[in-house]
Amino acid sequence: MLTIASHLAVMNRLGRAMADPTRSRILLSLIGQPGYPAELARDLELTRSNVSDHLTCLRGCGIVAAIPEGRQTRYEIADPHLTRALLGLVDVVLAVEDGTGCVDENCDVPLCCGPGANA
């Protein structure tokens, strides 16, 4: 069971991971599919060492996992629940930024789209 302190640590790790635009770009790429450092560097127009440094940070934060494959290492989001949460966070921020309502037709979040939501 997570304590208040561990909840705070998780929030701080997520904040650190997403605070850097390059790490955010890498995360968005890995949400779509696992990747390899050389491919990420090429696709994101970054240096391989830059990508490796950011992947090290993301691994240290517990957000991505490194899976050895022979002489290569594949990186992916560490947990499918995290992928879902990150996508949900992006959806919420996008909905707020563009002024659209809730994108979830089955939304059960209090005060999101029901009575009193826009009060």
Domain spans, the chain: 4-89
Residue 54 corresponds to which tokens in the numbers above?
């950011």
CATH architecture assignment, domain 4-89: Orthogonal Bundle (1.10)
For 49-97, the pLDDT digits (tens) are: 999 999 999 998 889 999 999 999 999 999 999 999 888 888 776 655 6
Full-model pTM: 0.74
Please tell me the least confidently modeled range out of 43-52, 83-92, 98-107: 98-107
Cβ 76 vs Cβ 64: under 8 Å: yes
Phi-psi region of 82 (alpha: psi -120 to 50; beta: other; left: phi over 0): alpha
